[in-house]
Amino acid sequence: MAARQRADRLARATPEQIETALAYLSAIDPEAFEIAFTAVTAAGDGVVEDEEPVPACRRCGALIGIFPDRGLRWRHFRGDSVTSGVQEVYEPGHTAQVSWILAAEDQQEL
């Protein structure tokens, strides 16, 4: 419910309010700011650049992400690595251990 309320609030925000909120977030929680910007593409065209790191589980090599509608913890998923794509969240039987890799890297070599 809280994630939905935040999404609704964001939908009502002006571009200036969003810019100010991101500037504040970058000052108080730089890691959350970097996670947010890694989750979206800079170009806005849905294509993730090859040089952008993506989060993967250090334990099993699977892609992981944060899905605000399911809480603010890292979760394993299958599918598209871009936020506008289709993902299937699943439970592999262990907690995700975050590691950042380049898209071209072999996830099994974590």
**Residue of 23 and 107 predicted with greater confidence:** 23
Q: Could you read off the pLDDT of 16-42 as tens digits, one per residue? A: 888 888 888 888 988 888 877 777 654
Q: Could you read off the pLDDT of 41-99 as tens digits, one per residue? A: 544 555 545 567 889 999 999 999 998 888 889 999 998 877 777 889 999 999 999 99
* SS3 assignment for 48-110: CCCCCEEEEECCCCCEEEECHHHCCCEEEEEECCCCCCCEEEECCCCCCCEEEEECCCCHHHC
